[in-house]
Structure 1
């Protein structure tokens, strides 16, 4: 398997498309929003033409009203990976491409994730308590988990308690890793702050020019303004514009700022992974450099 990862707007999809054509392979998407149908422009989903050129999987696999958990994604991805010869020849590597770190880890590290859906009623009860109380309860029912969860991490504390009360077993007993046996090459794309800011600005302007406002408007009408996905990056800001809270120019500026912040978090996540081999996204011979590394990888595995 070849992983193409990195922050948003670094050109992962474009590079992966060219590599897949050379390898005569397919692309498995590792993007937590591209799994949803109808969320196209704001998620930078591959176009119909791109999907005709190279087969893409794990895109448009659920409706906007469903919740795709990491465990759900992992299950669907592994079903494909288990029988890759149905998609490509036996010796052709698959391309796993995206910026959702947990999706990638779910495949490359085989992290075990308790398949416990969100329990709204239980979460409401837990959220009514302060963090100190919640953490004390977690220390009693799952002391191992508290060794990995910061006392101020309310989100993970609630999730750990939710898993315990739903299954009757501590989340620490249900976690771990079961990495795959096949070889994996991790290719990361990166660029300097000036370049990533330019890329984000250009992409945001392109999304708006290509109909992002109409996409958000249609989704609001079809699913209601309270749909959780409409509160994600790009959609939230355009929804504010449609509500008359800000101008379109202000919405564009907000998307750019929030995308920069998101890219910074992604970069921090992927930089922590020592397995990733980094390439400059703006390097003139990027495709040839990565292609040569892939050839070396194939020959030595």
Structure 2
């Protein structure tokens, strides 16, 4: 019998897999989305977040407020349907057992690894990759192009940031993203947490064997 291992993913992805999270099936509203994207482009994420607080405070309390793409989608749902995203979400518990293991390391060590990784990405061609995508017609306001890294390098290519400032901003925003995801994961029940060290290895093996032999 084959046992699947799922490694990585965001907290939302994990919830969908282990809790059977139902995503609201609300089709895109192109006109509304364009209006909200224009607002984000001219005034930033703050007015989007304020509006979401008014219309759907439950979702606003848990969403990444700096992520304009998620804010726009949440607003799109509540404005289009008249119901909050949290009202439309539900869950269908999956028909299988799940063992969840979380690995963590000291925050400062994690930040150091992130910073080195960002510098490595830039050295290996992130600037050239971003410039090539923009030249091929991929607009900066597309969801993928507004993600971490592309967003800041796009600002550098427009002359809004120096190389050093762009790198630093990617690092800072990635630190913030890690904190946000960590908070989400810590709120989730059923995760067995271990430090990423040699001492934890034996405990993890024991836990996995107990689960498989149960």
TM range (shorter): 0.7 to 0.9
Question: Are 1:116 and 2:31 an aligned pair?
Answer: no
Q: Tell me by how many angstroms 1:99 deviates.
A: 3.4
Task: Give the TM-score, by structure 2 length.
Answer: 0.75
- 1:207–1:290 CA distance, 2 compared to 1 (3 A): farther
Counterpart check, 1:210 vs 2:124: yes
Mapping of residues 137-176 of structure 1, within 5 Å: 148-149=58-59, 155=71, 156=74, 158-162=76-80, 164=81, 174-176=88-90
**Unpaired segments ≥5 residues, structure 2:** 40-46, 66-70
- Residue 14 of structure 2 is aligned to residue 104 of structure 1: yes
CA RMSD across the alignment: 3.3
* 1:92-150 C-alpha deviation (Å, 9 max, x unpaired): 22122223111111111111222213213245679899849x64xxxxxxxxxx68456
- Structure 2 matches for 1:122-271, cutoff 5 A? 122-123=32-33, 131=51, 135=55, 148-149=58-59, 155=71, 156=74, 158-162=76-80, 164=81, 174-228=88-142, 229-271=144-186
Question: CA deviation digits over 1:247-273, x for unaligned, max 9?
Answer: 222211111111001100010000111
With over 3 angstroms needed to count, the CA separation of the structure-2 counterparts of 1:172 and 1:207, relative to structure 1, is closer
Q: Distance in 1 between matches of 2:57 and 2:170?
A: 36
Q: Which runs of 5+ in 1 are unaligned?
A: 1-90, 136-145
Q: Write 1 or 2 for the structure with the bigger share of helix.
A: 2
The CA deviation string for residues 67-109 of structure 1, in whole angstroms up to 9 with x for no partner, is: xxxxxxxxxxxxxxxxxxxxxxxx2221222231111111111
| Residue of structure 2 equivalent to 1:34 | none
Question: How does the TM-score come out when normalised to structure 1?
Answer: 0.55
When the two structures are aligned, how many residues end up with a matched partner? 194
Shift of 1:171: 6.0
**Structure ranking higher on relative contact order (CA contacts 8 Å, 6+ apart):** 1
